[in-house]
Amino acid sequence: MLDQLEGIIDRYEFLSAQINDADIIADQKQWQQYMKEHSDLTPVVENYKAYKANEETIQESLEMLKESDPEIVELAKEELAQAREALKHNEAKLKKLLLPKDPNDDKNVIVEIRAGAGGDEAALFAAELYRMYIRFAERSHWKVDVMNINESGVGGFKEVIFSIQGQGAYSKLKFESGVHRVQRVPVTESGGRIHTSTVTVAVLPEVEDVEVEVDQNDLRIDVFRSSGNGGQSVNTTDSAVRITHLPTGLVVSCQDGKSQLKNRDQAMKVLRSRLYDMELEKQQSELAEDRRSQVGTGDRSEKIRTYNFPQGRVTDHRIKLTLHKLDTILDGDIYELIDSLNTADQAEKMKSMEKN
């Protein structure tokens, strides 16, 4: 670890010189890249400097213990204990800071919610999960852009696709991918029996054109008239767009906007993110089983969470966390869930790093 930290110090000093170089400043793209890397390394460098300072204090205190003056020896013991405690804190923080960072963490996300088993009840719960993520985005001061909605006849959603734009959106929401299960008495149930329904959530990092190259010759693009609720131009013009990626068979539709051009642009964003996600999934499946995180970011068939209405509880099965505050969670207060999942993921990565 110490060799790695010395390398980081060298890189940090190089970056510090570069971001103040007039030629680099003139090249704004390069300067911004260096500034971001410099900013990312700053907490590591500051903690490493504190680590080395505490090491020096320990050595000095050990020397002072050899003095004959009892007062100096007593003072040295106090400083030694404090420095050793601080050093342990520094070391723990450095290990955390040196964990491999997900390159997608800073990206915006595309969220896809689909009703699963349970018919109308699943569609209604899909709409509630959509509202939960919208409220969370609002609490985080992020922007939401709806791309496509396929409504059911009872006020729910068979499918809804939307983007969330905000700093670190993927790092916060990446563990939401999977099957969300709801247990409750449906409004349509006269006998008062509890039903179980499921909704699938997929959280994809939004990617740029340069990250996923799509050959236009591999696309079939169809335009059609939007259906469902909407303004005059939405329902009376061929503004909806359906893009089929022929090599993979992926189909993306977007009809929420009034402009065919905007819908096409939104559909391409979703397509690129799905292609990128497919490649990520392929890479992850090739990893040895013991190197995969127990939290996971992606098996779409994995039941990750249960929302039990009669007991007012939410249980995340991956980390065995149960919270008895269903109403506030569905109102977008999912911070405790997100923080607990991220902490569990970091713990798994630490274990893996210690093994290696």
pLDDT for 47: 93
> Quick one: 63 and 138 in the same domain?
no
With contact defined as beta carbons under 8 Å apart, do 197 and 122 qualify? Answer: yes
> Domain of 41: which CATH number?
1.20.58
pLDDT for 304: 94
> Quick one: 272 and 308 in the same domain?
no
> Quick one: 11 and 87 in the same domain?
yes
User: What does the pLDDT look like over 101-145, one tens digit per residue?
Assistant: 888 888 999 999 999 988 889 999 999 999 999 999 999 999 999
Chain length of the chain = 356
Place of tokens 């979703």: 270
- Please tell me the distance from the alpha carbon of residue 166 to that of residue 175, in angstroms, as a whole number: 16
> Quick one: 153 and 300 in the same domain?
yes
Beta strands at 178-184 and 303-308: parallel, antiparallel or unpaired: parallel
At 93, list the tokens.
């923080």
Last residue of a domain, one of 58, 73, 97: 97
> Quick one: 296 and 196 in the same domain?
yes
Assigned domain for 356 exists: no
What residues of the chain score a pLDDT lower than 70?
188-191, 209-210, 226-237, 257, 283-301, 353-356
With contact defined as beta carbons under 8 Å apart, do 319 and 339 qualify? Answer: no
155: left (phi over 0), alpha (psi -120 to 50) or beta: left
Last residue of a domain, one of 97, 123, 145: 97
Last residue of a domain, one of 97, 125, 155: 97
> Quick one: 55 and 162 in the same domain?
no
> Quick one: 227 and 173 in the same domain?
no
Assigned domain for 255 exists: yes
Assigned domain for 199 exists: yes
Please classify residue 288 by burial: count the beta carbons closer than 10 Å to its beta carbon, then call 0-12 exposed, 13-18 middle and 19+ buried.
exposed
Which helix (H) or strand (E) segment holds residue 139: the answer is helix 120-139
> Quick one: 114 and 205 in the same domain?
yes
Assigned domain for 103 exists: no
> Quick one: 205 and 89 in the same domain?
no
At 353, list the tokens.
């790093």
> Domain of 254: which CATH number?
3.30.160.20
Domain tally, the chain: 3
> Quick one: 188 and 136 in the same domain?
yes
Place of tokens 């890189």: 11
> Domain of 162: which CATH number?
3.30.70.1660
With contact defined as beta carbons under 8 Å apart, do 175 and 297 qualify? Answer: yes
Assigned domain for 165 exists: yes
> Quick one: 189 and 231 in the same domain?
no
How far apart, in Å, are the Cα atoms of 149 and each of 113, 159, 210, 240? Answer: 10, 6, 28, 12
Axis-axis angle for helices 28-64, 70-97 (nearest 10):
150
pLDDT for 355: 64
pTM of the predicted model over 0.75: no
Assigned domain for 308 exists: yes
User: What does the pLDDT look like over 151-203, one tens digit per residue?
Assistant: 887 889 999 999 999 989 999 999 999 999 999 988 766 667 889 999 999 99
pLDDT for 214: 85
Partnered with residue 159 across adjacent β-strands are 114, 150
> Quick one: 139 and 10 in the same domain?
no
**Domain residue limits at 65:** 2-97
Buried b / exposed e over 316-329, threshold 16 CB at 10 Å, is bebbeeebeebeeb
